[in-house]
Amino acid sequence: MTTPRHAPAAQRETAPHRRAAMIGLAVAVAVLVAALAVPPLTAWWVHVNSFPPLHAEWMPRLGPGTPAAVLLAVAAVVWGPRATTWSWPRLLVAVYLFGAAWMISLATVDGVAGLGHILETDYEYLQTARAVTDFGATLQEYVSRIPFAHPDNWPVHIAGHPPGALLFFLVLVRLGLGGATAAGLVVIALGASTAVAVLLTVRRLSSEDFARRAALLLTIGPAAIWVAVSADGMFAAVAAWAAWALSVAATSRGALRVGVWSVVSGLLFGYCVMLSYGLPLLGVLAVTILLLARSWHPLPWAVVSACAVVGAFALGGFAWWEALPVLHERYWDGIASDRPAGYWMWGNLAALVFSAGPWVGPAVGAAFAELFGAGARATRRAGAPEARQALAVAALALAGFAMVALADLSQMSKAEVERIWLPFVPWMLVGAALLPPGWRRWGIGVQAGFALTVQHLLFTGW
């Protein structure tokens, strides 16, 4: 059935967006099923725990957090759509509080210890942070202790990340928040703000209506499983607020306001570079924001500020450009050399589906349809405001997808990416705002149910 030519833009685009959503969902499910089935069916040992493509083990269980998690999932499905009609400030508060409660309930399926026991392990940051007495001296020896050959080489996550991540946990220790549970709650408090920052960015670059459409699918979903227990949840929050600050700078008038927000954005983006070697890919998102805002005025301020952060660490003894090749050698000296690229190049994308949830497929599919579909292009040429707003949403979603694709192609992230993808996941999910209303309603239930299933059947290692 074809749509009449005189139909409004929103109606005209329903059919192509629905087709793209179906294709996206089919691809996501197919990749996920293949990644689960191929290793056991072919006896292909891909060198990751017992449940590829995840760093996880099969462990069906119920726990103290189960009733709350189920109730929150039901509330999201039954009353969530009504919440999107609340006033904007009230909606943002609800998104934050619900997101934090969702993370806590999922984490406490493993009891109160579930809030922080992973941060306490030998390969994480907390134990090293407690042992650091002189951060300046730590910076001086940071690069030299990355290689396996060093007699006192860093634990996995310390070696695998720039020192900004260690500094964050060192600050928590100095503030008296260095216990596993306390640190876990801080990570959750920050991670829950990611959705708020992304919604504010969408509102700034697109419209409040599109932000409202994406709100629930940014809040409910399996990403909360890993945000709640890994430092990458904090990375995602810093990245999201950096993007929001840049969107404010790029859409503001007045030199002072543009300059101040550009500097804030640059400092946050610069610190992202000091949190993870993969986060310079956020440059894709930053350029997308500037293109959508049609303003390059923030760029010099933001670049100088970001370089100032990286330069400060370099003056302290840690030069990012010197550390990266050393890390590359350690990475390939370890298990990465045994992990077959023939599996992980697409197995990583299956882990993305686990982390983001199956509805990431329809969200990205709808974004492709909006950006490249003939009907959408014609509507934009006609100058419809909603078409320009939809274009902004699609561009942000595809920027998220592009960052994942580039990281995957680098082969510097074989396995264990369900947490590594966290800073990019919410940007892909904003594409859900382009889906027809029925697809968004079904998405809430699927995302919530998928998260409950994963958390109660698998014990995740990050």
The predicted model scores a pTM of 0.94
Lookup: tokens for 328: 């590359």
In contact, 413 and 352? CB cutoff 8 Å: no
Q: What is the pLDDT of residue 193?
A: 98
- Helix (H), strand (E) at residue 136: helix 135-142
Q: Could you tell me which residues are beta bridge partners of residue 58?
A: 458
Q: What is the pLDDT of residue 461?
A: 77
In contact, 180 and 120? CB cutoff 8 Å: yes
In this structure, the number of other CB atoms found within 10 A of the CB of residue 130 comes to 14
Q: What is the pLDDT of residue 345?
A: 94
Distance of alpha carbon 246 from alpha carbon 337, whole angstroms: 38
Please write the tens of the pLDDT for every residue from 281-301.
999 999 999 999 999 999 999
Q: Where are the domains of the chain?
A: 10-460
Q: How far from 352 is each of 37, 189, 207, CA to CA, in Å?
A: 16, 23, 27
Given a cut of 70, the residues of the chain with pLDDT beneath it are 1-13, 374-384
Please write the tens of the pLDDT for every residue from 182-225.
999 999 999 999 999 999 999 999 999 999 999 999 999 999 99
Distance of alpha carbon 456 from alpha carbon 68, whole angstroms: 13
In contact, 369 and 17? CB cutoff 8 Å: yes
Name residues whose C-beta falls within 8 Å of residue 385's C-beta, 6 or more positions apart in sequence.
none
